[in-house]
A and B are shown apart, each in its own frame.
Chain A
Amino acid sequence: GDSVTQMEGPVTLSEEACLTINCTYTATGYPSLFWYVQYPGEGLQLLLKATKADDKGSNKGFEATYRKETTSFHLEKGSVQVSDSAVYFCALSQTYGGSQGNLIFGKGTKLSVKP
Chain B
Amino acid sequence: DVKVTQSSRYLVKRTGEKVFLECVQDMDHENMFWYRQDPGLGLRLIYFSYDVKMKEKGDIPEGYSVSREKKERFSLILESASTNQTSMYLCASSLAGLVSTDTQYFGPGTRLTVL
Is A45 close to B, CB under 8 A?
Answer: yes
Q: Which of A64-115 contact B (CB under 8 A)?
A: 89, 93-95, 98, 100-103, 105-108
- CB-based contact B58/A102 at 8 Å: yes
- CB-based contact B100/A100 at 8 Å: yes
Residues of chain B within 8 A (CB-CB) of A93 are 100-102
Is B108 close to A, CB under 8 A?
Answer: yes
Residues of chain A within 8 A (CB-CB) of B58 are 102
Known: A43-B90, A95-B100, A100-B100. A107 touches B41 (CB 8 A): yes
Query: Which of under 10, 10 to 19, 20 to 34, or 35 or more describes the interface residues of B?
Result: 20 to 34
Is A17 close to B, CB under 8 A?
Answer: no
Is B45 close to A, CB under 8 A?
Answer: yes
- CB-based contact A44/B99 at 8 Å: no
Shortest Cβ gap from A2 to chain B (Å): 11
Contact mask for chain B residues 59-87; partner A; CB cutoff 8 A; 1 contact, 0 none: 00000000000000000000000000000
Contact mask for chain B residues 90-114; partner A; CB cutoff 8 A; 1 contact, 0 none: 1010100111111111111100000
Known: A107-B41, A107-B42, A108-B42. A32 touches B109 (CB 8 A): no
Which residues of B come within 8 Å of A, CB atoms? Answer: 4, 31, 33, 40-45, 48, 56, 58, 90, 92, 94, 97-109
Which residues of A come within 8 Å of B, CB atoms? Answer: 31-32, 34, 36, 41-46, 49, 51, 89, 93-95, 98, 100-103, 105-108
